[in-house]
Structure 1
Amino acid sequence: MLGRKPSLREARHIDKVFFTGIDDLFYESVATHYRPSDELRTLVQAMLDERGLAWDIRRKDVWSHVRPVEHTAETQLPTQGWKIHVSANEQNCRDLLTKVATLALDHGMQFKFANDVNTLKLMTSKRWARGGSGKFITLYPRTDEEFRDFIELAYAILKDDVGSYILSDNRYKDCRCLYYRYGGIIQVNRLDYMGRKVPILTSPDGEEIVDYRTPYFDVPPWTTDPFPREDAEPADMTLMNGRFAIQSALAFSNTGGVYLATDTTTGEDVVIKEARPHVELGEHGQDATSRLAQEERMLSLVADLGISPRLVTTFWDWENFYLAEEHLDASDMREVMLMNSPLLKVNPTVEDSETFYRIHKSIFVSLLKAIDAIHGKGVIMGDLSPMNILVDKADMTVRIIDLESAYQPKSDEPQNIYTPGFRSEVKGRKKENDFHDDIYAIGAIMMYSMFPIVATAYVRNDLFTRMLPVLVADIGWANTPVEDVIRKLAENTITCHEAIELLDAPASFEQPYTARQVERELSSAAASIALARFITDHYRLDDLHTLFPADPFGGQTNTLGLGFGATGIVQALHKCGCTLPAPARERFDREIAAAQASEIPPGFLTGSAGIAWSFFGMGNTEQGKRFMAHANASPLLRAHHSLYYGMAGIGMANLAAYLHTNDSTYLNAAKDLANSLASSAIEDERGLHWEDDGEIRIGYGYGQSGVALFFLRLSQVLKAPTWRALGQKALEYDLSFGFELETGITTFACSPEEKNTYEHYIEQGTGGIAKVAIRYGLWDRLESMFPDVYRKYSGFPGLIYGLTGFVDVLLDAYLYSGNRKYLDMAERPLQGIADLYLFKSGDGYAAPGENLFRISCDFATGIAGMMRTFHRHANRTPDEFCLDELDVRPSETHAAQRLEPMELD
C-alpha cells in the first residue's frame, strides 16, 4: 500500500474492528452506540453551573461540544480558521480539561473534548487514523487575533504538561500538549462520487479545496503559519546522530513507523521500529514507548533461542523511542500460504497437497518449538498471529517478530493486546493474555495457513468442529494428524511437545477436493428462503440503528443505497418473493420519503441511480422517476466514468427507466452520458480506457468493462452498432491485461500497475470482466476465464467480492450458452458457501460479511446478495441489473451449446 494508491475496492474498506465492540452479531458504530461515562462531562458542567452560563454540553459522535445555548452575532463561529488542540494522557486528562475549560469559559471560547477517558484512549490507539489522533480538546477562536492571544494564555498554564504529538498540527513553542492547525470550524462537507462526506475549505476567491487530515502539518495556499519556526530544516533521513540511514518506510501506524535502514557502522540492513509517547495507552499506564522498551527486554531474554531478530540497539531520537533489530531474509507467513495452499488453486494435484504439507509441517514444528522455548523462559507471547511470523526461505522455519505484547506474568504488568481471530473469545474469559492463548493461537494459525477463515469464530462456535474437517478433507490431508493437532491445540488439551510428536506420525495424501463428496445441506431455493427469514427477523425500528444491519461503508455513504443500504435489501426480498414486515416497510417508506437529493450521490452502487433502478424493478414507478431525477440533476453526474459510481451506471439506470416508462427523457440522458464518456476516453493500442485522478482501473465496477456493458445496451436500444464497437474497444482494454496465474487460467489485477495481486471477483477481477464478455459473446476468450471463478474457496462469501459472485457469473454463462457444464461448475462455489459460510441462526440462516467478524445483510457484501443469487440460481433468472431483457434468449440460439464439456477436476 505504500507503493501505490488504493484501488476503489480498497477505498471502500473500513477497519471493521472499530465496529465490533457494540454488538455480537452485527457491525455497529462505536461513535453512535457507545455510552460514555459522565466523569468529564460532570467536571465541565460544574464549571458552567458555577458561572451561571447559558451554555450546554452536547454530545456528537466521540465529542462533547461546549457552546452557548443561544447563538448571537457575538458567539457565531467562523466557518474556518485557526484551531487550537490540546493532547493529554490518561493520567493528566482531567487536570488538563479543568485548566483549559476554565480558561476557555473565562474568555467565552467554545470548545469540545473527548467524551470520556476510554474515548481518549481509543483516539490515541494504534488503529486510529494518524491525521486525527491525539486531539483531546479542540478550541475555536473567532478571529486570528483571538487565536494568537488565547494560545499564548494556554501556553502559560500548559507549558509543563505533556500529551501525544498531534501529527496533523504544529506544536506551539515548546509545550508538549499544545498544538494548532488551520481547518474547518463549522464543518462544511461536500459529497464525493462514492457518497462520502468530504470536509471542505473555501479560498478567498471562492475555490473549494479538500480539508485533508494529513499526518503532517499543512496549510492552505492562501495563508501561512502564524508562528514560523526560524530553525526549521528539511527532515534528516538519519537517526541516532547519523548512525542509521533510512532507506524506506515499511509501514505506518498511529504508534509510529517501521523503517528499513542501513547501520552505517556495519553496513548491515536493519529494521527500525518507532514508538511515539502517549499513544496506545494501556490499562496499567503503558504506552507505545514502554511497550517497545518491553520488546527490547523480551528480545534480550529470548536472544539465545535464535527464534527472533537479533537486537541491535535502542535509542531516543528527539522525543520518540526507537528499536533497531536485525533485518531477516525471510518471507511473510501469509505470502507462503498464498503461494502454496492447494485450496487457493483451481486444479490442485496430489503433489501440491503433499508439498504444502511438508511446508506446513516444517513451519509449525518450528513454531511449536519456538513457543515451547519462549514459555520455558516464563514468557507469554500474547499477540501471536500470522502477521508476526516470518518464514526462513532456506529451511521453512519460523522467526517471530513484534514482541511488544510479550510479558512475564511473574514480574510484568499483564497485557491485553491481540489480533482478532487468534485469541479464544469464550465468554467470561479474563482480559489479560495467558499461556493458553498462545497455544490456541498456534492452532488458529495452523488452520489459517490452510485458508484464512478463523475470524468467523466471532459469529459461530463450530470453527474447529465443522469447518476444520472440511478444510482438511478438501486439501487432501484426511490421512494426516493435522486435524487432530489443531483441534487439541484450540481446546488446550495438548502441549507443544505433544503436538510435535503427533505431527511426526505417518501421513498420506489424496487428490484435493475428492475426499469429501456431499450434497449441499440446503438447496438453492431453501437457502434463499432461510436467508430471507434471517433478514426479516432482524429489522430495527429505533433511530440509533439502520433499518437492517449492513457493512459500515453504508454508514459512510448512503444507508438507503442499493449496495450497502436498505433499498438493496428490500429489492432483493421483493425479487425473491418475500414480504417485508409491515413495521419495516413503514420505516423504509418514511426514510425514502425523507431522502434529500443533496445528501445522496448519483451513482449505481451507493446512490440515486441504484435506488431508482430498484424501484422500477419493484414496480414503483413514482419513486423510480423521483430518484432518477435526483441522479440526472446531481452536480456529480459526470464526476466518474464507472459502472458502480459514475456515468456508466447512471446511464444503465436511465436505460432501465426508459424501458420501464418509454419516456425518451431517460434515453436522451443515457445518450448524453455516453457521449461524455466517448469524448473523455483515451485510446491506445490496447483499446479505450478512462482515468480518474491519474489512475486507470481495470474491471467491471470501476474499469472499462462496466462502461462496455453500458455501451452495448445503448447500442441495442438505439440499434446503433457504433456504440457496441466502442464498447468492445473498452472491453478489449481490460482483456488485454489478462494474466495466466495457473496453466490455462486467465485472471486480472485491479490496475495495469498491479503485478502482485490478481483477483477473481465481480467488483474487480475476472468475474466482472467475464460477465461483460459473456454478453458480447466472446466465448473463445471466456474459456480460460471461467476456470478462475470455478473456486470453492474465497475470503468472503458476498456477491460483488466473494463466492456468491462466482455463482452469479457461472449462471450467466449457462443462461447465455445453454451449456449445463456451467451449472455443474457453479456447484463448487455453492458448496463453498454451504461448507464455509452458511450457518443456522435462530429460525433462519446467516453468513458473515466482509472481514468475517460480524454478519451483514446488505446486497453487495452480505446476506441479501447471497439470497438473491440463490433464488436466481434456483429459478434460472437473468441478472436484474444488466438489462438482460434486451437479449434474445441465448440458450436457444447460441453455438456455445455445442462446446465440449469442460473438465471439472
Structure 2
Amino acid sequence: MREDLELYSLADRHFYEAPSRWSAEESTFDLTFPEGWNRGGNLDWCMARPAGAELPGQGWKIHVSATPDNAERVLEIVARYCFEAGIAFKFLRTGRLVRAYSLKYAPRSASGKLLTLYPVDDAQLETAVDALAEALAGERGPYVLTDLRIGDGPVFVRYGGFIARHCFTDGGDRVLAIEEPDGTLIPDDRRPFFTTPHWVRPPEFLQPHLDSRSAQSASLGYQITEALHFSNGGGVYLARRESDGTEVVLKEARPLAGLDSSGRDAIARLDDEVRALRALDGIEGVPRVHELVDVWEHRFAVLDRIPGRTLQTWSALHNPLVGPRTTPQATRTYAERAVRVLERVTELVERIHEHGLVFGDLHPANVLVDEDDRVGLVDFESASEIGGGQRQHMGYAGFTDPDARGAEIDRQALGALALWLFLPLTSLNALSPGKAGALLAAVEEHFELPEHVRALILDRLRRPAPGTEGAAAPEVRFTDGAGRRAARESLAGAIRATATPERDDRLFPGDVQGFLNGGTDFAFGAAGVLWALRTAGQEVDPAHAAWLSEHASRSDLPPGFFDGAHGIAHVLDLLGHHDQAAELIAGAAPDVALTHDVSLFSGLAGIGLNHLHLADRGGEHLAGALGVADRLAEAVESGRSHGIDVAGRIGLRDAGSRGGLLRGWTGPALFFLRCFETTGQREHLGLAVRALHRDLDLCVARPDGTLQVDGGFRTLPYLDVGSAGIGLIADQVLRHVPDERLSESAMGLGESCRSTLVVQSGLFSGRAGLLATLGRLARGGAGERLPDSVVAHLSVLHWHALGYHGHLAFPGEGNFRLSMDFATGNAGVLAALASLDDFEAEFMPFLEPPGIAPEIAKTLGGNEDSDKVQNTPEGNPHPERTGEATNPIR
C-alpha cells in the first residue's frame, strides 16, 4: 500500500484525514513558551522561534528522535535547552503524532522524528550537539535514516534546507531545494541514507561520528539482488549467499520503528516471526529459517525463497473478468483453479493451527502461488499462539475482524479471501457492512461457486465491520437515463454533505494528496469538485466558491494544472474571479519557466492548454501558449525521457513507464492538437502524432487483444497512466490526419477500456474514466443510445457504490476511504456520468477545442481561414478527411 494511506486512515473511519486530528485533544504536548518567543507551524508541527530571529536558508540541522513512551520527557529537555540557547526549533504537536509517524507504513523519511533544531552556524551546532548528547544520554529513539547519528543516543544531524524552496528534477518532479554556492537550486536529497551536498564539508567535530559510522558497517554475507518491499520497519530483499550462491530472502527489522497497534516494533515482530517459522519447520509452503543476523543496529532473518507469485498477481493474470471479453468455459476453468488454490491455502492454515499457531495476517499479498497452483505463505510477523486470546494488531482492510481471537482470525480472513479470489473488492467491506453480500451476489452472476466456498463467504458476512452503520448505498440504476440523473443528484448531495467550509486545510474530503496543497487543487481539492458540479449542471454553493477564493493564493503552490496554480485559476476564472485567476497565473510564471515537466497533470501541457483556454483574456496568455509550444516541441523531438519513459525512471521501485493522457506524452499531443485546431498550422498536428507515437512506444500488446501501457509489474488501461487516454486523443487526431500506426493501434487501445473487473471506481485510475472514455469514443450525437461497452460498465458500477448519510458515495484510492475529489471520488464519477447524457458536458477540461476568436487565432499563427477551424466537426479544418481513419470501436 502507499506509505501515506495508513497515516491518513487513523483519525476517521470514513475519510482520509490529517493525522494531527487523531485524538489530538487527548495527547497535545503542553509546552509553555517563554516571553519573546513566537509560535507558528502547521497541522503536524509547532514552530518555536525567538522574536525577530532570521534563519539562514539552509545549513546543518539537528533531529532528535523519540518513542511514544519517552517523547514528552525528551521534548521538555530539548525545548528547555533551545529556549535558553535561543535556537529555533519545531516539534510534533501531539503524542499520537509521534506514534503515527512510527507506524509500519508511515513515511520512512519522517520516522521517529520528534524535534528539528535550526542552529544558525557551525559553532552553535557544535555546542548544541554536545549539550543535547549529554542531556539525552540513556534516552532511546529510532534511527533517522537520512542523518548522521551522534554517539548512540537519539541526536542526529543532516545538512539541508531550513526554509521551503523548490526546484524541478530532470524528470519534472517539483521537490524541496537547497542552494549551490552559485545560487542554483538543486534537490534537497532526502534519500534514506546520510549524504552531504558536493560542496559541503562536515565540521571537524563530526569526524569521530563519521568514523564510528564507517566502522559499524559490516558485511552481511549476502549480496542483495532486488528490493521486494519497503516499510518503516525495514526492507525485504532477494539475495544470494556469498559463500555458495544460494538464493534467499532477507527480511530486515529496525529497532523502535515500524510499530503496530500494540506498540511492538519491527525487531519484536521479526523475533516472533522467526520463533513461529522454526516451530513450523518442515511444513511445505512455510519458509525455512536459515539464520538470524544482527548487522549494526538492524536485524535480518535469512529465509528460504518460496517459489511463485503473489495471489494478487496470479488473480490478475488468470481471472477472466480482467479483460474485454470472457466465455462460460473461461469462468468455469478459473473457478476450478481458484477453488483449488483456496482449498490449498485452507489446508496450509489448518496445518499451522495444528502446530498451535495462528497465522494472523492472511491476505492476497501474503499468499504465493507457483506454476502448479501450489501455495505458500509469507510474512509471519503477526503469528501468535492459538490459545493466547490475542487480537490482530496489523492487517489488510477487509481481511481483519477486531472481535476475532485465536484461530477465528484466520477463518474470517479465509472467508474474505474466498470472496476476493473472484471479485477483489473486499476492502469495501471495511466501509460498508452490507457490501460483502452484494459482492457475493455479483460473483454468483459470473461464477458457479461450490457450496462449501459459498458457506465460507457467508460466515464472513455475519460479522460486519464495526462503526460503519449507515454506509449502505442507496438504490440506483445507472443503466437508464432517469437512474443516472438520480445518481448525479445523490453524488452532488454527498459532496455538499461532506463540505467543511469552517476548516482551512480542506473543503471536501478526498485523497491524502489533497492535504499537500491546502485542499485547493483540481485533482484532489476544491477546484476540481466545484468544476465537476458546475459542468454537471449542479448548483455551486456560493460559500464553497468563496472558500476556494479565500484559500487559493498560497505562495508555495506548484504551477501545474491538476496539482496547482493553473488548475485553480481555471476554476476561479470560471466562477467569475478573473483578476484573482490572472494573479495566480502570474505568480506561477517563475516556476513555469523552470519546470522540465511536460505532462498534462502537472507540467507544460496542462499549463499551455490553460493559456489557450484563456487566450481571449489577454496577450500574456497568447505569449504563454506560444512559449509552451516551443518548449514542448523541443521535448517531443529530443528523445529525452522527461520522467515518462522507462529509461528515465531507472532506480524507482516497481519502475514502469508513465505513458498516458495525464502523466505521459499524450498530454503534449492534446496541447498540439488544440494548437492546430486553433491555428490551422499542420506542424502542430505533426507534433501531436509524434507525441502519441512516443506513448505507443511505451505500450505492450496483451494476449486478450488489448494494448496497454507498460507499468512495470503490471499493464495499465487508465486515463492517468494508461492506454485509455492515448486512445481518446488518438481518435481525435485521426479525424484530422491519417496515420497508419495510430489506426492500427486504435482497436487495442479501445479494447483496453472494456474490462469487466476494475478495482477502483475513480476517474483518473478507475471505472469512471474507462466508461467516460468509451462514451466519448462512441459519440455520434446527443440522445443516442449508449453503446454496449458503456452500458456494461454502468451495469456493474454499483459494485463500487457505497453510501454516506443517505447519499451515493464512492471510495477513493485503495478503496480504503470514501472520497469526494475529482481524481479518485464522487466529483470524477459525477463528471463521467454527466458526459454520457449531456453532449455539451466534458468529463475533463480541454477535451473540446477552446473556441478562440478568429483574430486571436491569427495572432497565434493561424491563417485567414482560421475561423473555419472552429466551425467544422471536431474543429477539423479539412472536413473532407473526416473518417479517413476512425476508431473501429465507435
The amino acid that maps onto 2:119 is P
Unaligned runs of 5+ in 1: 1-9, 494-516
Q: CA–CA distance in 1 between the matches of 2:694 and 2:163?
A: 45
Look up the match of 1:464.
436
Out of 649-658 and 261-270, give the one that drifted further: 261-270
* Alpha-carbon distance in 2 for matches of 1:387, 1:340: 16
1:23 aligns with 2:9: no
1:770-805 deviation per Cα after TM superposition (whole angstroms, max 9, x unaligned): 111111125554233222112232121111211111
Shift of 1:448: 2.0
Amino acid corresponding to residue 741 of structure 1 in structure 2: R
TM-fit CA distance, 1:749: 2.4
1:62 paired residue number: 44
1:522–1:538 CA distance, 2 compared to 1 (3 A): farther
Measured after TM superposition, the shift of residue 32 of structure 1 is 5.4
Distance in 1 separating the partners of 2:646 and 2:349: 49
Deviation at 1:829, TM superposition (A): 1.6
Change (3 A) 1:234 1:349: farther
2:89 match: secondary structure? strand
Q: 2:678 aligns with which of 717, 723, 732?
A: 717
The count of aligned residue pairs is 836
Report the CA distance shift for 1:683/1:177 in structure 2 as closer, same or farther (over 3 A): closer
SS at match of 2:608: helix
Task: Give matches, 1:319-718, under 5 Å.
Answer: 319-394=297-372, 396-408=373-385, 410=387, 416-424=393-401, 429=402, 434-474=406-446, 476-477=447-448, 482-491=453-462, 523-557=483-517, 559-592=519-552, 595-596=553-554, 598-615=555-572, 625-630=582-587, 634-636=591-593, 639-658=596-615, 663=618, 665-682=620-637, 694=648, 697-718=658-679
Which AA in structure 2 matches 1:768? G
Which of residues 758, 763, 767 is equivalent to 1:794? 758
Counterpart of 1:784 in structure 2 is 748
For residue 23 of structure 1, report the CA deviation from its aligned partner.
2.3
Residue 469 of structure 1: how far off its partner (Å) = 1.3
Which has the higher mean CA deviation after the structures are superposed, 836-845 or 309-318? 836-845
Q: Is the 8 A contact 1:87 1:164 kept in 2?
A: yes
CA pair 316-693 structure 1, distance change in 2 beyond 3 A? closer
CA contact (8 A) 1:331 1:390 kept: yes
Q: Flag structure 2 segments of 5+ consecutive residues without an equivalent.
A: 465-476, 650-656, 735-741, 852-869
> Higher mean Cα deviation, 691-700 or 335-344?
691-700
Two-structure CA RMSD over aligned residues (Å): 3.7
**1:808 and 2:772 correspond:** yes
Counterpart code for 1:577: G
In structure 2, which of residues 192, 202, 214 is the aligned counterpart of residue 225 of structure 1? 202
CA distance 1:350–1:703, shift in 2 (3 Å): same
Q: Which amino acid aligns with 1:439?
A: R
How many Å separate the matches in 2 of 1:190 and 1:247?
A: 33
Per the alignment, residue 861 of structure 2 pairs with none
Task: Render the CA deviation track for 1:239-286: whole Å, top value 9, x for unaligned.
Answer: 2xx4x4444433332212222233456653221212111113456663
User: How far does residue 292 in structure 1 lie from its aligned partner after superposition?
Assistant: 0.9
Cα distance in structure 2, aligned partners of 1:462 and 1:690: 41
Q: Which residue of 1 aligns with 2:865?
A: none
Judging changes above 3 Å, is the alpha-carbon distance between structure 1 residues 849 and 195 closer, same or farther for their aligned structure 2 residues?
farther
Measure the CA separation in 2 of the matches of 1:616 and 1:362: 58
**Deviating more after overlay: 217-226 vs 835-844:** 835-844
Specify which of 807, 811, 816 is matched with residue 853 of structure 1. 816
* Residues 263 and 636 (structure 1), Cα distance of their counterparts in 2 relative to 1, 3 Å cut: same
| Secondary structure, counterpart of 1:470 in structure 2 | helix
CA contact (8 A) 2:423 2:439 kept: no
User: Aligned equivalents of 1:687 and 1:126: distance in 2?
Assistant: 34
In structure 1, distance between residues paired with 2:100 and 2:709: 38
Q: What is the match of residue 790 of structure 2? A: 826
Partner of 1:873: 836
Q: Which amino acid in 1 is paired with 2:728? A: K
Deviation at 1:901, TM superposition (A): 8.8
Question: Within 2, Cα distance between the matches of 1:822 and 1:740?
Answer: 27
**Distance change (3 Å), C-alpha of 1:222 and 1:809:** same
TM-score by length of 2: 0.85
Report deviation, 1:705. 1.8
Partner of 1:181: 158
**Residues 123-179 of structure 1: CA distance to partner in whole angstroms, max 9, x if unpaired?**
222212222212233333332112212322333343444332221111223x23222
Q: What's the CA shift string for 1:213-256, capped at 9, x where partnerless?
A: 221111122222232234665997842xx4x4444433332212
1:194-215 superposed Cα distances (whole Å, 9 cap, x missing partner): 9987432223332222223221
- Return the letter of the residue paired with 1:288: A
Deviation at 1:122, TM superposition (A): 2.1
Paired residue for 1:140, among 114, 118, 130?
118
> How far apart in 1 are the matches of 2:136 and 2:388?
35
C-alpha displacement of 1:887? 6.5
Q: Which SS does the other structure have where 1:805 is aligned? A: helix
Is 2:888 the counterpart of 1:888?
Answer: no
**After the TM superposition, which of the residue ranges 353-362 and 282-291 deviates more from structure 2?**
282-291
8 Å contact from structure 2 (residues 636, 687) kept in 1: no
- Tell me: CA distance 1:787–1:896, structure 2 relative to 1, closer, same or farther (3 Å): farther
Deviation of 1:466 (Å): 0.9
Give distance in 2, aligned partners of 1:134 and 1:652: 43
Distance 1:410 1:654, change over 3 A: same
Secondary structure of 1:450 counterpart: coil
In structure 1, give the amino acid aligned to 2:628: L
Q: Secondary structure at the match of 1:609?
A: helix
Q: 2:794 aligned with 1:837, yes or no? A: no
Matched AA of 2:767? L
Q: Post-superposition shift, 1:618? A: 5.4
| Residue aligned with 1:748, SS | strand
Q: Is the 8 A contact 2:389 2:406 kept in 1?
A: no
1:765 lines up with 2:749 in the alignment: no
Identity between Structure 1 and Structure 2 (%) = 26
The structure-2 alpha-carbon separation of the partners of 1:726 and 1:225, relative to structure 1 and needing over 3 Å to count, comes to same
One-letter identity of the residue aligned with 2:872: V
Q: Is the 8 A contact 1:821 1:902 kept in 2?
A: no
Q: 1:816 to 1:705 in 2, by over 3 A?
A: farther
Alpha-carbon distance between aligned partners in 2 of 1:844 and 1:311, rounded to the nearest angstrom = 52
CA contact (8 A) 2:168 2:187 kept: no
TM-score, scaled relative to structure 1 = 0.84
State the 1:406 CA deviation: 1.1
Q: Is the Cα–Cα contact under 8 Å of residues 172 and 643 in structure 2 kept in the other structure? A: no
1:575 to 1:759, Cα distance in 2 relative to 1, 3 A:
same
Determine the C-alpha separation between the residues in 1 that align with 2:47 and 2:815: 35
CA contact (8 A) 2:4 2:107 kept: no
Range moving further from structure 2, 536-545 or 817-826: 817-826
Asked whether the 8 Å contact 2:367–2:377 carries over to 1, the reply is yes
Query: Which amino acid in the other structure matches residue 469 of structure 1?
Result: A
Q: 1:585 to 1:110 in 2, by over 3 A?
A: closer
Q: Residues 231 and 382 of structure 1: is their aligned pair in 2 closer, same or farther, counting only changes over 3 Å?
A: closer
Q: Which moved more, 1:521-530 or 1:358-367?
A: 521-530
Q: Which residue of 2 aligns with 1:727?
A: 688
Q: Greater shift after overlay, 605-614 or 93-102?
A: 93-102
**Which amino acid is the alignment partner of residue 484 of structure 2?**
S
**Distance in 1 between residues matched to 2:703 and 2:7, nearest whole Å:** 37
Q: Which among 248, 252, 257 is matched to residue 279 of structure 1? A: 257
